[in-house]
Amino acid sequence: MNITIAPGPRTGSIRVPASKSQAHRLLICAALGTHPVRLRLDGRSMDIDATAACLRALGAEIEVQDDALTVSPIRAVPQTPCHLFCGESGSTLRFLLPVCGALGAQAVFHMEGRLPERPLAPLDKQLLAHGMTLRQEGALLYAGGRLTGGAFSLPGSVSSQFVSGLLMALPRVEGESLLTLTDALQSAGYVDMTLDALRLSGVSAEKTPEAFRIPGGQTFSLPEACAVEGDWSSAAFFLCAGAFSARGIRVCGLRADSSQGDRAVLALLRRFGAQVEAHEDGVLVRHGTLRGIRIDAAQIPDLVPALAVTAAGAVGTTVIENAARLRLKESDRLQTTAALLRALGAAVTELPDGLVIEGRGSLSGGTVSAYGDHRIAMSAALAAALAESPVTVTGAESVEKSYPRFWSDLRTLSLSEKSF
């Protein structure tokens, strides 16, 4: 599907969809629990639906309503292998792999897109050392055995999803476990979200500077009704678009005290020079005098595409560093972000772990590919706010992965006078 976006900044108000990161975690905690839980969420996505379908295959019952999912927990896992269709969702795979071990389930994980190429090491070695069996054949991953507790060791710099998966699985095994991190944890906000979900479930996981101590044999017990908060990662594209608009864009449905690491977008927009106003009913971002800045992306890799486009709309040099993990996303996101900006006339240098953008305050326009990556597609829409002529996005359907209504939400915003 191709979509053409009129050039120029926009103004208006947007309510962002539910956080898929929190939805994954609450779905799993509900399925591991003792009673039905109603999860209220504003909008689903392919990734959320993948996790729900996999939990159904493991024995949970999940009823879909317009604005909610009602989860009845897993009582007994099937005795035959469970076929778990993950799509391209790394969270679904990396969270449910150790959870299957904790349940003693035989599972066949079906992976699509680049997911079979994304790393499972060293999580796989830890699972093999603690009672599980694993075998990958192309896009299929066969898992069996039963996960046992004990001493686990992982680097914090490869994927926070490895840590989160074990944090959700180990409370269900027998005996205490100690999960030690061998280097600094990156994307720490996502692990904080997991700890929040565990606390809400009445599950204990003690965090120390270098490890997590997790008692075994615990019971998950979420409240009978929970609301999934708004998604800061999706909001970032509209918040950044507000920085190019004199009248600004208001984004509603966000929690100011969220554990989501991507709420750092507000502080970064202020550093760029945008006007940021937090109100009870949302956040308003308006144009300011935008200047290039230096960004450490270690804790906020998902913001990089939107921030790179924002940098193109600033004046001067922006350096984005510590973002090497983006090469292992739905696309090589450093390469595809650079290609997107170059196609629209920006000056970008690609580094092994980041990007250097020479901002000129505007872009040309033209046709760009989404490269099968939802965040690149949304970045192209953001770039249209800076463009002098229309921007056509090929492969625009990739937004279905995280934000299916993105294009309709974009259309609700009005074209505004230029601020650059």
A 10 A CB-CB count for 225 gives 12
State in Å, rounded, how far the first CA of the chain is from the last one. 31
Verify whether residue 302 is a known catalytic residue.
Answer: yes
Q: Compute the distance between CA of residue 42 and CA of residue 149 in angstroms, rounded to an integer.
A: 37
Cβ atoms of 265 and 251 closer than 8 Å: no
| Owner of token pair 């996502």 | 190
Amino acid letter, residue 375: R
Residue 155's Cβ-side half-sphere holds a number of Cα atoms within 13 Å equal to 9
Strand pairing category for 107-111 and 82-87: parallel
What lies within 8 Å, CB to CB, of 396 at 6+ separation is: 1, 2, 3, 370, 377, 407
Q: What's the burial of 290, exposed, middle or buried (CB within 10 Å: 0-12/13-18/19+)? A: buried
Active-site annotation holder among 47, 302, 373, 409: 302
Q: Compute the distance between CA of residue 33 and CA of residue 72 in angstroms, rounded to an integer.
A: 8
Q: Compute the distance between CA of residue 163 and CA of residue 362 in angstroms, rounded to an integer.
A: 41
Q: Residue 394 corresponds to which tokens in the numbers above?
A: 């090929």
A 10 A CB-CB count for 277 gives 12
| Owner of token pair 């009445």 | 202
A 10 A CB-CB count for 215 gives 15
Which positions are catalytic? Answer: 302
